[in-house]
Amino acid sequence: MSWKIRHEGSPRSIEGLTLQQILEGLRDGLWEPTDEVMGPQDQQWVAMEAHPQLAEVVADLEPPQRKEHEDETRLDMNPLIDVALVLLIFFILTTTYETIRKVLDMPSVAASNPKNPLRTVKPDQVKEVMIRVVARNGENGPVVQVEDRIVDIKNLTNELKQFVKGTRKTEMLIDAVDVNWGTVVAIQDAAKGAGIQKAYILAKQPTQ
């Protein structure tokens, strides 16, 4: 007395099995409860979970635990955070360095020093080729004058552009006394924005 078994709805089947072989295959996980069987007395295919001789065995079997696979689509953010921190530190250091570069050295050596001589310019030469900017410390902050004309330091770039356009001068002489470094740097930045090629800082001749 042989039994037949097949996957649900499959046209192919395995024949010549005993009931004991089917039960052992079911316990070993070779067959699924939904697979269909046909016994010697059966006229049609019946799912094992619904067959009178197999339903009780199927009910007693615990469903096999599904194997959990690691989710390969999960993105590890730790390397990305590390790279972002490194870039942030790089940009901070670069910005700080660029700010330091804007501060130019004030002339602090004597004009008679042969290793680092200062350029001597006469008043008539200044008037002829340079735009003179005077910066002094006033009661409410620094006061900036362009060619004896008081100018708001916030509007200094536009004022210098007009002087460059009207006079064709591309050099500037900065006469700054008792003002902070920020004022001098602001004047230099305005000169650069106005298209002035060279900006000189006035150094007083040492007294004998």
Listed residue (28, 26, 37) closest to 59, CA to CA:
26
- Whether 117 maps to a domain, the answer reads no
Averaged pLDDT score across all residues of the chain:
79
* Domain presence at residue 104: no
Which of 60, 77, 95 is the endpoint of a domain?
Answer: 60
pTM of the model: 0.42
Of 127, 107, 199, whose CA–CA distance to 156 is shortest? 199
Q: How far apart are CA 183 and CA 163, in angstroms?
A: 20
Give the number of other Cβ atoms within 10 Å of residue 113's Cβ: 9
11 in any annotated domain:
yes
Please state, for a pLDDT cut of 90, what percent of the chain lies above it: 3
The string of pLDDT tens digits covering residues 19-56 is 888 888 888 888 888 889 888 888 888 888 888 888 88
CATH code, domain carrying 163: 3.30.420.270
On whether residue 72 sits in a domain, the answer given is no
Number of domains in the chain: 2
Domain boundary among 13, 33, 60: 60
Look at the alpha carbons of 162, 165, 166, 170 in this order and tell me if their dihedral is positive or negative. positive
Place of tokens 């620094």: 142
In the chain, the DSSP E strands lie at: 3-6, 14-17, 36-38, 46-47, 130-138, 141-146, 149-151, 171-177, 198-201
User: Which of 24, 39, 60 lies at the terminal end of a domain, its last residue?
Assistant: 60
Q: What is the pLDDT of residue 86?
A: 92
Is 155 inside a domain boundary?
yes
What are the phi and psi torsion angles at 67 (to 5°)? Answer: -75, 120
Domain holding 21, by residue range, is: 3-60
Angle, helices 181-193/156-167, rounded to nearest 10 degrees: 50
- Please check whether residue 154 lies inside any domain of the structure: yes
Is 102 a member of any domain? no
Residue 35 lies in a domain: yes
